[in-house]
Amino acid sequence: MDLSVKPHNAQKVSTALLDWYDEHGRKSLPWQQNRTAYKVWLSEVMLQQTQVATVIPYFEAFIARFPTVEALAKAEVDEVLHLWTGLGYYARARNLHKCAQVLTEQYQGAFPDEPALLEALPGIGRSTAAAIVAQSFDKPAAILDGNVKRLLARLHCVPGWPGQSKTLKTLWQLAEHYTPESRSQAYTQAVMDMGALVCTRRNPKCDLCPVQDWCAARSTGSQHDFPNSKPKKTNPVRQQELYLLQNAQQHYLLFQRPATGIWGGLWSLPDQVELEKLLPTLPNSEHDQRLEHKFSHFTLQAEIQRIRLTPAQEQLIENNIGEQSSRWYNPQQPDSIGLPGPIHKLLHR
C-alpha cells in the first residue's frame, strides 16, 4: 500500500474495535431494528452533517409515512420536503425522492449490493454507498464519514484538512486497510460509534479508547490538532427584504422557490422584486423582525416587513401572480409543504 503514513496491523486494530463495539456500541438505534437497505440508506443520508439525536424523530416520521422505497417514490416532493423541514441541507431530501424513483423504475424497489451501482444513484456518494453495502448486506466496504475521518486522522496524525484531495486520499487508504473481510456490519457501526462516543471532536475519551496504544495523537498529546481545521474564510453577507403579505384571514402569501439553488423547491416569502410584480404601487409596511440565517457559503440577513392587505390589494395580487407557484398559508391549519426552518419558525412563532 502506497501510504504517506505507516499503517498498523489491520487485524489487531479491527479486532480491538469490534471487541469494544460488542460491549459498548450502539445496537438499539431505530434503523438497526428489522434492518433493511432502505432504512440504512435513509438514516445515512439524514445523518450527513446531523447528530443522531436530531435525526431519530425525523427518521421515525419518515418511516411511518413512507415505509417503503415505492411509497417514497410515489409521494409528492412537497410532502417529502415538509417532513424534512428543520433538518437542513434540503438537497438531501430532493435527492432521496429522485433516488427512490430511480430505484423503483430500474431496480423494482430493491437496492443493488455493489458500491459502484449505488454511487450512480442520485445523492449517494462513496461513503454512503459503502455503508449501505456493509450495513445491509454485511459485505466488506470501507466507509469514511466525519467520525471515521477524525478517528483515522488522530490514529496516524494525518496532516491536512480532510477536504483536501491528498489528505482525503490517505484517509481512504487507511479506511480500506483496516476494514476486515468479515463482520462488516458490526465493524462499520463500530468505527462510527468510536468517533461519536469516544474519539469526539472535543474532549475525546482517550482512556476508554480500544486503540489508544496505537494512537499517534494520544502519544504526542495532539488530539485536538487532528484532523486539521478547514481553512477559515469570511462568508459574505447578503441583505434582503422579505414580505409577510397578510390577508384578512391572517393567511400569508408564499412562493415556491426554483428547484435548484438556495431553499430549492421550498416555499418562502416573496422578496422585493416579486412584490413589485404583484403590487406596482407598494403599500405601507411595518417592520416585523430581522432574520439571520447562515448558509455554507454566505449569511442571509433579511428584514421582514409585514403588509396588511386590503381586499382590493389581495385581488390585484391574484390577478398578477401569473404562472408563479404560490399559495396562501394558514399557520393554524398548515399545509404539508416544505418550509425553510427560519421561515417555519417565523410563521409559527
Active site residues: 44
**Which residue in the block uniquely carries the three cell numbers 456490519?**
185
> 86 with 344: CB under 8 angstroms?
yes
Instruction: Give the phi and the psi of residue 185 in degrees, each rounded to 5.
Output: -60, -45
Instruction: Give the phi and the psi of residue 304 in degrees, each rounded to 5.
Output: -95, 120
> 295 with 262: CB under 8 angstroms?
yes
Residue 280 neighbours by CB distance under 10 Å: 9
Tell me how far apart the alpha carbons of residues 84 and 311 are, in angstroms, rounded to a whole number: 34
Residue type, position 60, single letter: E
> 62 with 45: CB under 8 angstroms?
no
Residue 349 neighbours by CB distance under 10 Å: 7
Q: How far is the CA of 32 from the CAs of 38, 60, 89, 124, in angstroms? A: 11, 12, 24, 20
> 17 with 195: CB under 8 angstroms?
no
Element (H, E) at 313: helix 311-320
Q: How far is the CA of 40 from the CAs of 29, 30, 33, 85, 136, in angstroms? A: 11, 10, 10, 21, 7
Q: Which grid cell sits at 54?
A: 436530531
**Which residue in the block uniquely carries the three cell numbers 404560490?**
326
Residue 76 neighbours by CB distance under 10 Å: 11
Residue type, position 295, single letter: F
CB neighbour class for 55 (10 Å; exposed up to 12, middle 13-18, buried from 19): buried
